[in-house]
Amino acid sequence: MAAGGGVTAGTASIAGVPALLRYAGSPELAAEHGTVLFYHGFGGTKERADEYLTALAEAGFLAVGLDAVGHGERRYPDFGVRFDDARWDTHFEEVETRFLTLLDETAAEVPSVIDELLARGWARADRIGIGGRSLGGCVCYAAVLADDRIRAAVSIVGSPEWTLPRAHSPHLHPDGFFPAAILSLAAEFDEHSPAAHITAFHAELAPRYAPEPGRICLVEYPAVGHFLTPELNADTRQRTTAWFQRWLAP
């Protein structure tokens, strides 16, 4: 199915995960340029990330949007009950534990997704990236630790620090990231993914990346919250595409 602008849209189930594909030519040809997994925000769907997927495909990549655990085509039937806003206020630890569980489960699927993409000829082991926004940005940090075949990652208003004490929280494992190229896009007044946590994480990464400091980058958008502005959202798409062009494309 054509998506316009020379980009083709398709769907697939990859390692059991519902996926939305965007590419120019064919998945196999696009994968020669690089394959980028992309995850949406909390409560969203893979379709919500279509502008990112299309931008990546127009740049030559095979863009693979994926539904997080409990979302999209596999949304929990009782999603609204599990993550009721009022209960989140009154029973924070209980509801937040559910959130962290789906986050961890989503990241744990990434190695199987990569395995299947490689088996289909839809990825090259040296040209795999991952991006995501909010929940998806959190997934990116965890996925880099879960699979060292990820060469580059872009986290958009996502946090490397889990909101409850967890020994596997990515911010506690800065030694596990190099040499993956990490771009973090933060918002100064982010009410969900505090910029201070992302800044502290990059400070921990810096000495580990001393041999190649260009492989990490932190951009903090001033005077905005988690949802940014239309102009800044467009900027995140441009920066995301440019990062993968720098670190994945031949």
> Domains in the chain, ordered, with CATH?
2-247 (3.40.50.1820)
- Two tokens, residue 10: 């398709």
Which single residue is written with the structure tokens 């919250």?
225
Instruction: State the average pLDDT over residues 63-84.
Output: 96
* Closest C-alpha among 14, 6, 13, 120 to residue 55: 6
237 φ, ψ to 5°?
-65, -40
Which single residue is written with the structure tokens 């030694």?
175
Instruction: State the average pLDDT over residues 176-182.
Output: 98
Instruction: State the average pLDDT over residues 96-114.
Output: 97
For residue 1, the model assigns a pLDDT of 42
Distances (CA, A) of 168 to 74, 134, 231, 243: 25, 19, 35, 26
pLDDT bin (cut points 50, 70, 90) of residue 87 is confident
103's enclosing H/E stretch is: helix 92-120
How confident is the model over 197-224, as pLDDT tens digits?
A: 999 999 999 999 999 999 999 999 999 9
For residue 65, the model assigns a pLDDT of 98
Pick the residue with more confidence: 9 or 4? 9
Instruction: State the average pLDDT over residues 27-32.
Output: 96
> Would you tell me the crossing angle of helices 230-247 and 50-58 to the nearest 10 degrees?
40
pLDDT bin (cut points 50, 70, 90) of residue 89 is confident
For residue 249, the model assigns a pLDDT of 79
CA–CA dist 78, 217 (Å, integer): 38
CA–CA dist 223, 203 (Å, integer): 22
Instruction: State the average pLDDT over residues 59-78.
Output: 97
For residue 164, the model assigns a pLDDT of 96
pLDDT bin (cut points 50, 70, 90) of residue 48 is very high
**CA 243 to centroid of chain Cα atoms:** 13
* pLDDT over 90 percentage in the chain: 95
CA angle 198, 201, 203 (to 5 degrees): 115
pLDDT bin (cut points 50, 70, 90) of residue 88 is confident
Q: Are 8 and 105 in contact (CB under 8 A)?
A: no
Instruction: State the average pLDDT over residues 2-25.
Output: 89
Residue 171 has a CB neighbour count (10 Å cut-off) of 17
CA–CA dist 170, 79 (Å, integer): 26
| Average predicted confidence (pLDDT) for the chain | 96
* pLDDT over 70 percentage in the chain: 98
CA angle 185, 221, 177 (to 5 degrees): 20
Instruction: State the average pLDDT over residues 176-186.
Output: 98
**Does residue 5 register a pLDDT over 70?**
no
For residue 3, the model assigns a pLDDT of 52
**Does residue 2 register a pLDDT over 50?**
no
